[in-house]
Amino acid sequence: MGAQNPYKAAGIRTRRATMNDVAAQANVSLKTVSRVVNGDAGVVEETRLRVLDAIARLGFRRNDSARQLRTGRTAEIGLLVEDVADPFYSTVTRAVEQVAAGNDCLLFTSSCDDDPVRERKLALTLCSRRVDGLLIVTAAPDHAYLASELAAGLPVVFVDRPPVNLDADAVLTDNVGGARSGIRHLIAGGHRRIGFLGDDPDVFTAQQRLLGYRQEMAAHGLPVDESWIAAGEPAPGRLRHNVERLRVELDRLLGGPAAVTALFTGNNRITTQVLREFGRREDSDRGTLRRPALVGFDDFEFADLVTPGVTVVAQDPAGLGRTAATLLFQRLAGLAGPARQVVLPTRLIVRGSGEQPPPD
């Protein structure tokens, strides 16, 4: 508890003790220090204690940059997502973290905001850092730039969205099947006019979910009016980011004589924004508004807390992260062979909003 300022001025970064310093202090060789630090066998207890004492006295801490340079392995992996603050991605991140920790690996995380340029820059920076592996929820339209890294032996696993122009592992959700199960549920409930509120098809998952919608409608011989589909536009026009735009589309789908009786929302952010809109309308309409049936893709923490509960096609973000990270470490452990594609199933969770029957 000295009265010293704890924070040094610029550049006054004290030189840290090295193994050499410890060796001198303990009167042993550098190599013996290395053995003690790494817990290698073959050091007699007395020597070990002397070294440990010197380490404590000098405040020595092994410099992993040097170790990494020598061994070629960093015991670090990187994870790129769209936005860690999004519950979907934070859950993926947490699962990846856990697998990484189980393999004594540290994790770099970065949010790319669906910006391909940023994604590429970050991925390559991580390559320069010589991470042992890379996990990517990609927004880029092309991944050929990673080919040389893959060829150099870097395992890369794509999460939630597959790679383009690159032969690499991917762990995905069954987006088509999931969307179909949601639409099937609405059709079984008597709905024929079902609206789709999703993101632009630039986003792989959005495109797949829209495909599932079309497939299931077709499978039941139901025509689809293109006006029932609101898929937003790229980047700033994405419905999940653009509340104004979503409001306009919702008005369009629910208003007029061609109004839909049910809504399928393509991701958790659109679902919650739609709920917010419903709430707002009911406040002003004083209960005259009849909510359409609603099924959302992706579960969310409060889906059971609102009234009615929100029926969803649940994904398994933790499973996505866990599976992808596990595959990555299998690759690191030597698993050879062609790129794998793992597809995780979805699960329909019935809570009330999707069971609202059509009017009349």
Partner DNA sequence: ATGAAAGCGCTAACAC
Partner DNA sequence: GTGTTAGCGCTTTCAT
* C-beta of 32 vs 91, nearer to its own copies: 91
Terminal alpha carbon distance of the chain: 78
* C-beta of 98 vs 242, nearer to its own copies: 98
59 binds, among DNA, its own copies, none (CB under 5 to 8 A by kind): its own copies
**Least Å distance between CB 318 and its own copies?**
8
Question: What x-and-dash track marks residues 23-62 binding DNA by CB under 7 A?
Answer: ----xxxxxx-xx-xx--xxxx-xxx-----------x-x
* C-beta of 62 vs 351, nearer to DNA: 62
Stretch that binds DNA, among 63-71, 76-84, 206-214, 237-245 (CB under 7 A): 63-71
109 binds, among DNA, its own copies, none (CB under 5 to 8 A by kind): its own copies
CA distance 88 to 298: 8
Q: Which residues contact 178 (CB under 8 A, 6 or more apart)?
A: 209, 212, 297, 313, 315, 345, 346
* C-beta of 41 vs 336, nearer to its own copies: 336
Sheet with 311-314, side-by-side order of all strands: 229-230, 194-197, 262-265, 293-297, 311-314, 347-349
Residue 16 near DNA by CB under 7 A: yes
**Least Å distance between CB 316 and its own copies?**
14
CA 212 from chain center: how many Å?
Answer: 22
Interacting positions 64-83 with DNA (CB under 7 A): 66-67, 69-71
**Least Å distance between CB 60 and its own copies?**
9
Partners of residue 348 on adjacent β-strands? 313
Residue 165 near DNA by CB under 7 A: no
Nearest alpha-carbon partner for 59 in 9, 100, 21, 115: 21
Q: Figure out which of the listed residues 3, 15, 301, 334 binds DNA, where binding follows CB under 7 A.
A: 15
For β-strands 156-159 and 194-197, DSSP reports them as unpaired
Q: Which residues contact 121 (CB under 8 A, 6 or more apart)?
A: none
**Least Å distance between CB 5 and its own copies?**
6
Q: Which residues contact 110 (CB under 8 A, 6 or more apart)?
A: 78, 79, 80, 81, 122
Tokens of 112: 């790319």
343 binds, among its own copies, DNA, none (CB under 5 to 8 A by kind): none
**Least Å distance between CB 306 and its own copies?**
5
To the nearest 10°, report the CA torsion of 157, 161, 165, 170: 30
For β-strands 194-197 and 169-173, DSSP reports them as unpaired
**Least Å distance between CB 84 and DNA?**
29
List residues near DNA by CB under 7 A: 15-16, 18-20, 27-32, 34-35, 37-38, 41-44, 46-48, 60, 62-63, 66-67, 69-71
